[in-house]
Amino acid sequence: MTLTTNHDSEPGDTVVAHAPAPTRSRRTGKWIEDWRPEDKEFWETTGAQVAKRNLIWSIFAEHLGFSVWLIWSVSSAFLVAQGFQFTVEQLFFLVAIPNLVGSMLRVPYTLAVPKFGGRNWTMCSAGLLLIPTLGFAYAVTNPNTPYWAFCVIAATAGFGGGNFASSMANINFFYPADKKGAALGLNAAGGNVGVSLIQFFLPVIVGGAGIFGIVKASEGGIHLERAAWVYAGLAIVATLAAYFFMDNLAGAKSNPREQLSVLKEKQTWIMAFLYIGTFGSFIGYSAAMPLLIKVNFWRQPLPSIEGIGINFAFYAFLGALVGSMARPFGGWLADKYGGARITLLAFSGMILSTLTVLFTLSRLTVLPPPPDKAALAEIAKDPAAFRFPAPVQQAIDANTEVFPFFLAAFLMVFVFSGIGNGSTYKMIPAIFRKDAERATAPGTPERELSLMTQAKKASAAIGIIGAIGAIGGFLIPITFNSPWVTEPLAATKSAFWIFTAFYLVCAIVTWAVYVRVRKGANADTGYVGV
Residue 304 has pLDDT above 80, yes or no: no
Confidence label for 361 from pLDDT (cuts 50, 70 and 90): very high
Least confident among 131-140, 143-152, 175-184: 175-184
What is the CATH number for 438?
1.20.1250.20
* Residue 9 confidence (pLDDT): 39
Could you report the per-residue pLDDT of 9-37, keeping only the tens digit for each? 343 343 333 434 444 444 444 889 889 88
Q: Rounded to an integer, what distance in angstroms lies between the CA atom of residue 240 and that of residue 229? A: 17
Residue 379 covered by a domain: no
In a domain, 242, yes or no: yes
Q: What is the pLDDT of residues 195-212, one digit of tens each?
A: 888 878 887 787 655 544
End-to-end CA separation in angstroms for the chain: 37
**7 inside domain:** no
- Does residue 32 fall inside a structural domain? no
> Which pLDDT does position 5 carry in this prediction?
42
User: Quick one: pLDDT at residue 8?
Assistant: 40
Does 354 or 217 have the greater pLDDT score? 354
Evaluate if residue 137 carries a pLDDT over 60: yes
Q: What mean pLDDT, rounded, does the chain reach?
A: 83
pLDDT at 6 over 50: no
Residue 503 DSSP SS3: helix
Report how far apart, in Å, the C-alpha atoms of 97 and of each of 104, 114, 197, 415, 464 are: 11, 28, 20, 25, 19
- pLDDT computed for residue 221 by the predictor: 62
**30 in a structural domain:** no
Domain boundaries, position 453: 58-369+390-525
Q: What is the mean pLDDT of residues 467-496?
A: 83
The C-alpha atoms of residue 103 and residue 470 are separated, in whole angstroms, by 5
d(CA 365, CA 383): 26
pLDDT level of residue 519 (50, 70, 90 thresholds): low
Convert the pLDDT of each residue in 426-478 to its tens digit: 898 889 888 888 878 777 888 888 887 787 788 778 778 888 888 988 999 88
Model pLDDT, residue 485: 55
| Residue 376 belongs to a domain | no
Q: How many domains does the chain have?
A: 1
What is the pTM (predicted TM-score) of this model? Answer: 0.78
Please report whether residue 142 resides in a domain: yes
Look at residue 482 in the predicted model and tell me its pLDDT. Answer: 67
Note whether 285 and 378 are within 8 A (CB): no
DSSP 366: P
Residue 363 in domain: yes
Distance CA 176, CA 2 (A): 20
* Chain segment 92-118, per-residue pLDDT in tens: 888 899 989 998 898 888 888 888 899
pLDDT above 70: percentage of residues in the chain: 88
What pLDDT, in 10s, does the model give residues 367-412?
888 787 788 788 888 888 889 999 999 999 999 999 999 999 999 9
